[in-house]
Amino acid sequence: MPRERQRLESTCVFCGSSDDADPAFLAAAQQLGKALADCGIKLVYGGGGVGLMGEVARAAHGANGAVLGIIPTFLVGAERALESVEHIIVDSMHERKMLMFQRSDSFVILPGGIGTLEEVVELLSWRRLDLHAKPIVFYNPRGFWEPLFKLFQHTVDEKLTPPDFMQAWTSVATVGEIVPALLGQGREPYPSEAAVGRRG
């Protein structure tokens, strides 16, 4: 019998929180939010209303998608917590990241800065240690993440990281490829009633 595919119910999006980001990146975040909602995939994200983070959440919520924001107390004001969606306020960044991980069964990485890098490296480190096998997809417009991928390859070349680490994620160049890439890693969407109703 063929192996039953695990349902894809939620994805965590790591991304930038700057309103000064390239408008193309902000538009891509909006497109992703709507795509997740249309597939009935719950968005888990950092809880703010700024930058790509805010755009992906507002778009998912506006398309009747489920959204969960997780934000530490000290960032509620700075990142303008999006109170129109379900959100959890935690005490620390460590608690935020752990809860985001626990509430998600896949991950999407959009362009971001040092905070996004920190989240990504920890996520991939846990993958390297076999602590999870959740799908990870990088949205890589104009080769945005290529310098990071080259650094990872450098650690492989120096025999500090095993070669199979380079297969721990998928990189795509367009927003339309993100959800199919997640599903291509052995999972299928779990349609929400709202999504089924829109299809019907």
**pLDDT for residue 179 is more than 70:** yes
The token pair that represents 2 in the structure block:
């063929």
Judge whether 196 lies within some domain.
no
Domain count, the chain: 1
What per-residue confidence (pLDDT) applies to 6? 61
Residue 48 lies in a domain: yes
Judge whether 194 lies within some domain: no
Which spans in the chain are helix H? 23-38, 51-62, 93-102, 114-128, 146-157, 178-183, 193-199
Chain segment 40-99, per-residue pLDDT in tens? 999 999 999 999 999 999 999 999 999 999 999 999 888 888 888 999 999 999 999 999
Model pLDDT, residue 112: 97
Average pLDDT, the chain: 89
Contact 137, 108 (CB under 8 A): yes
pLDDT in tens, 96-122: 999 999 999 999 999 999 999 999 999
Instruction: Look at residue 188 and tell me whether its pLDDT is greater than 90.
Output: no
Q: Is the pLDDT of residue 29 over 90?
A: yes
What CATH number corresponds to the domain at position 117?
3.40.50.450
What H or E segment, with its residue span, contains residue 61? helix 51-62
Residue 92 lies in a domain: yes
* Residue 47 token pair: 């809880």
pLDDT at residue 194, as a whole number = 40
Strand, coil or helix: what is 189?
strand
Q: Which domain holds residue 75?
A: 6-187
The pLDDT score that the predictor gives to residue 198 is: 40
